[in-house]
């Protein structure tokens, strides 16, 4: 048995268009004259709503409000984001033999709404969202302390440079996915243990 930890945005949920749209809406509400593009996300050293706001030229005094508006827009969206092809099947497969957790800078409320929409909520053992204090590395450590009893392997699966670095800081195996919000070139700066191009490749790494 292993502990398999997923990031949310860009790994499970295809939220790129929403992130750009909601980021623009937040900028507009705050009077920030910035045109939001994918580039505002693709090169972030740390993937979070706060650093995203800074990339969108939001003044520091308004960053917390940018985060609040963005999360609120996600929560009010009529339907949760779509799930990447193959992810649902991989989670269902892992759930039979492994513990599964999610560590994300999104809210746990938004993640649970997404999981419920896609019939996966009962398969996830814990969600550590922005409402859980601490860094991503701290939240990975919390999950490991809770679910690892006998030295089982721990994997952190993310689509951002900061996910790879958080995994390394927490002392767990890092798996970078190429279908998310950041380029392979950006991900490789963190020297991930593995890079995968589709969800089914995760099975080969975690169950070999």
Those residues with Cβ within 8 angstroms of residue 161's Cβ, 6 or more apart along the chain or in another chain: 44, 45, 46, 47, 182, 186, 187, 189, 190
What is the dihedral angle through the alpha carbons of 43, 47, 50, 52, rounded to the nearest 10 degrees? Answer: 30
> What per-residue confidence (pLDDT) applies to 148?
96
Residue 180 predicted with pLDDT over 80: yes
What is the dihedral angle through the alpha carbons of 110, 100, 185, 83, rounded to the nearest 10 degrees? Answer: -50
Residues in the chain: 208
Please list the residues that pair with 176 across neighbouring strands: 158, 195
Structure tokens at 126: 């814990």
Contact 177, 192 (CB under 8 A): no
> Mean of the pLDDT values across residues 90-102?
96
- For the domain made up of 3-14+80-206, give the CATH fold: Rossmann fold (3.40.50)
The average confidence (pLDDT) of the chain is 95
> What per-residue confidence (pLDDT) applies to 75?
87
pLDDT digits (tens, 9 = 90+) for 5-51: 999 999 999 999 999 999 999 999 999 999 999 999 888 888 899 99
% of the chain exceeding 70 in pLDDT? 100
Residue 208 predicted with pLDDT over 90: no
Residue 175, H or E segment? strand 173-177
> Mean of the pLDDT values across residues 68-88?
92
> What per-residue confidence (pLDDT) applies to 45?
84
């Amino acid at each position: 048995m292993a502990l398999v930890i997923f990031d949310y945005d860009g790994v499970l949920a295809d939220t790129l268009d929403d992130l750009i749209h909601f980021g623009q809406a937040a900028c507009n509400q705050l009077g920030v004259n910035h045109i939001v593009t994918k580039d505002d996300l693709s090169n972030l050293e740390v993937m979070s709503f706060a650093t995203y706001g800074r990339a969108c030229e939001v003044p520091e005094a308004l960053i917390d409000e940018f985060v609040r508006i963005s999360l609120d827009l996600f929560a009010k969206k009529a339907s949760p984001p779509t799930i990447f092809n193959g992810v649902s099947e991989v989670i269902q497969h892992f759930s039979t033999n492994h513990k599964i957790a999610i560590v994300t800078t999104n809210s746990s409320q938004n993640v649970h709404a997404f999981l419920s929409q896609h019939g996966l909520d009962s398969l996830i053992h814990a969600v550590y969202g922005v409402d859980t204090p601490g860094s991503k590395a701290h939240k990975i450590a919390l999950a490991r302390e809770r679910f690892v009893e006998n030295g089982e392997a721990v994997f952190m699966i993310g689509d951002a440079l900061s996910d790879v670095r958080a995994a390394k800081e927490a002392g767990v195996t890092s798996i970078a996915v190429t279908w998310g919000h950041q380029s392979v070139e950006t991900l490789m700066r963190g020297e991930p243990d593995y890079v995968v191009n589709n969800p089914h490749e995760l099975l080969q790494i975690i169950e070999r």
